[in-house]
């Protein structure tokens, strides 16, 4: 049985066929004999002309990827996601949604390797795209500084990359002559990045085992194989007394959502407005509420030296005075300031 399973995720207007050469190279590589490959395929097109079909959103594709990992690859103990272009955004969105749901499948994913991912968006033909593809829900999220894309990136950075002992390695590579996704956008703010020969499509067309794009994947897989097995970490359940200090972030978000008005973006904006300016500037723009609140908790931790957790608790108490849920979450929010 293979010990590592590579899951390839294609990009916008592409298909799983883009990975054929990669799968052949891995299959013929004796050093990767314990690696098997699968390609995740999803619907992507310029327009949907069928009256009963539509171009799926990123959230729908991301959930499709989660379903594929959970059911089709249920018996695979160690997963590596390898993506091209938009596929990297799909993978980041899936990871962010898994974080929100405390999905146990997240522990199986040990590598995310992205080629030419437009994390900061793509400017190519943007004015024409806005007009001609205004109904395409996937194209909208390829535009620069898309709020939902940035929220997913923030979740991945704060809760996967920038943790003391990360269980997943995240690599981002740009094409040196890529005019579709600039190197700055492909590398974005990820710490482990590089530049490879080729344009947006050449970067994923390895013609030999010496092609540098294949070499970096091969090295990443060998590095992964050399790591000792890691036990799956299951979040500790909430104690019978319900002590706020025992809550994980997902449970704290559940409590926050019980605060009257919390699901209203205007209410959250009022609460954020009471935070220190430096904290307020770093908060995510309105998006999926659970993901937004998880990102907000990460920001409060980052600015604990400004007592950001206490400030947020005070803001909620001012907006919803003497509410029992606010009292319950206050101790936990204040505890964020202590690290």
249 and 118 share one domain: no
- Mean of pLDDT over the chain: 86
Report how far residue 199's alpha carbon sits from residue 216's, in angstroms, rounded to the nearest whole number: 17
Do 221 and 286 belong together in one domain? no
Res. 226 pLDDT band, cuts 50 70 90: confident
DSSP character at residue 201: T
Summarised one tens digit per residue, pLDDT across range 295-313 is 888 888 888 888 899 999 9
Sheet strands (E) in the chain: 4-9, 35-40, 79-84, 109-115, 169-175, 193-196
Give yes or no for residue 144 having a pLDDT over 80: no
339 — pLDDT class (breaks 50, 70, 90): low
No. of helices (H) and no. of strands (E), the chain? 14, 6
State whether 134 and 257 are in the same domain.
no
Q: Please report whether residue 139 resides in a domain.
A: yes
| pLDDT of res. 234 | 40
Domain that holds residue 268: 244-336
Residue 87 scores a pLDDT above 90: yes
- CA distances from residue 207 to 189, 203, 213, 214, 254 in whole angstroms, order as listed: 30, 11, 10, 9, 50
The CA radius of gyration of the chain, in Å to the nearest whole number, is: 21
Backbone angles phi, psi at 83, to 5 degrees: -130, 160
Is residue 48's pLDDT more than 70? no
Distance CA 209, CA 31 (A): 12
Does residue 316 sit within a domain? Answer: yes
Burial of 286 (0-12, 13-18, 19+ CB in 10 A): middle
Express each pLDDT in 105-124 by its tens digit. 999 999 999 999 998 888 77
Q: List, in sequence order, every beta strand (DSSP E) within 85-152.
A: 109-115
Q: Among the three residues 200, 226, 252, which one is the final residue of a domain in this structure?
A: 226
Strands 109-115 and 193-196: unpaired
Q: Above 90 in pLDDT, residue 136?
A: no
Same domain, 151 and 256: no
Same domain, 10 and 71: yes
The encoded tokens of residue 163 equal: 């943790």
Least confident of 36-45, 126-135, 312-321: 126-135
pLDDT number for residue 236: 40
Into how many domains does the chain fold? 2
pLDDT at 174 over 70: yes
Per the model's pLDDT, the better-predicted residue between 116 and 292 turns out to be 116
Domain closes at, from 167, 197, 226: 226
């Amino acid at each position: 049985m293979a010990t590592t399973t590579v899951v390839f995720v294609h990009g916008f207007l592409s298909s799983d066929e883009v990975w054929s050469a990669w799968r052949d190279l891995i299959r013929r590589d004796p050093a990767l004999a314990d690696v098997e490959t699968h390609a995740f395929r999803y619907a992507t097109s310029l327009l949907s002309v069928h009256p009963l079909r539509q171009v799926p959103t990123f959230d729908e594709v991301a959930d499709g990827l989660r379903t594929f990992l959970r059911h089709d690859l249920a018996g695979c103990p160690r997963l590596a996601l390898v993506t091209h272009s938009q596929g990297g955004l799909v993978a980041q969105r899936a990871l962010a949604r898994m974080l929100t749901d405390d999905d146990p499948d997240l522990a199986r994913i040990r590598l995310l390797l992205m080629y030419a991912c437009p994390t900061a968006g793509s400017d190519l033909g943007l004015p024409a795209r806005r007009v001609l593809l205004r109904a395409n829900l996937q194209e909208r999220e390829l535009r620069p500084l898309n709020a939902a894309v940035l929220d997913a990136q923030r979740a991945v950075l704060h809760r996967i990359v920038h943790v003391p002992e990360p269980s997943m390695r995240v690599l981002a590579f740009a094409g040196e002559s890529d005019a579709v996704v600039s190197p700055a956008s492909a590398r974005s703010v990820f710490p482990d990045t590089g530049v490879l020969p080729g344009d947006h499509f050449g970067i994923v067309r390895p013609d030999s085992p010496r092609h540098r794009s294949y070499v970096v994947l091969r090295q990443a897989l060998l590095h992964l194989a050399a790591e000792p097995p890691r036990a799956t970490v299951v979040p500790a359940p909430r104690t019978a007394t319900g002590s706020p200090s025992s809550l994980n972030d997902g449970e704290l978000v559940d409590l926050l959502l019980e605060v009257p008005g919390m699901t209203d973006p205007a209410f959250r904006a009022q609460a954020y407005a009471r935070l220190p300016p430096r904290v307020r500037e770093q908060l995510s723009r309105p998006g999926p509420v659970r993901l937004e609140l998880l990102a907000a908790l990460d920001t409060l931790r980052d600015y604990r030296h400004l007592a950001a957790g206490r400030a947020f608790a005070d803001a909620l108490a001012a907006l919803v005075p003497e509410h029992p849920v606010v009292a319950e979450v206050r101790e936990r929010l204040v505890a964020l300031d202590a690290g």
